[in-house]
Amino acid sequence: MPGFFLKPQRRTWRRTATMYGKVMSRGEQTKASAAAELARQLHEALLRERIVPRFVDSYVLENERQALQVHAVMYRDLLALLHREALLALSVRALEIVCDEPRTPRRQAVLFRKKFLASLVRQQGWSVGDALDFQRDLQLYEGLVARAAAPRRSRKPFEAANHPFADRCAFLLDSSFLEKARMAASRALVELESLAAQVCGAAGAGNKPEWTN
């Protein structure tokens, strides 16, 4: 009689374990899909809104710095470098919106961040070295932004943002006129952070996005 009940119990346990594994697998796939979708939308929105080219063109016109656009190859390389900085700023803000929800478990936030970065690397076609460089710079951005966040006060119109994007872009764009370049980069940063909020579905609604569900 004991053996009669043992086999059904074992089969039931195996069925339950298999079903549990499938549910967990679907959950992981959902998180991976959400992270990949966020990475894709951020990249496409950045290209669509042309924030980086508009930022550079307006700076050149306002400050009569046409020399920055004389050499086509150098100008293209400049835009590529600034685009990378913009993608860093977008990623930092988007991950802050998604992962800093108090009800989101830390493990879930870490996992989402990992999958987001992996998806971004695939979409951009980066090499291993490029991926590691981006991850390192992202961590640098996050650390500097966290230190500058408290105490937070509204920035006056004539003040440059206390943000790595403003500092790094100013140096890349026009180190000879650093303060003017920082102000221009600060205006671009406002657009980038607004765009990140829109992509995450948080703009104007006051709700945290459902990426991590």
Single-letter amino acid, residue 129:
G
For residue range 107-123, what is the model confidence (pLDDT) as tens digits? 888 999 999 999 999 99
For residue range 160-192, what is the model confidence (pLDDT) as tens digits? 788 999 999 999 999 999 999 999 999 999 999
pLDDT value for 204: 33
Q: If you write DSSP's letter for every residue of 90-148 in order, what string do you get? A: HHHHHHHHHHT-TTS-HHHHHHHHHHHHHHHHHHHT--HHHHHHHHHHHHHHHHHHHHH
Q: Report pTM.
A: 0.78
Q: How many helices (H) and strands (E) does the chain have?
A: 7, 0
pLDDT value for 132: 96
| Contact of 56 with 12, CB cutoff 8 Å | no
| Contact of 199 with 42, CB cutoff 8 Å | yes
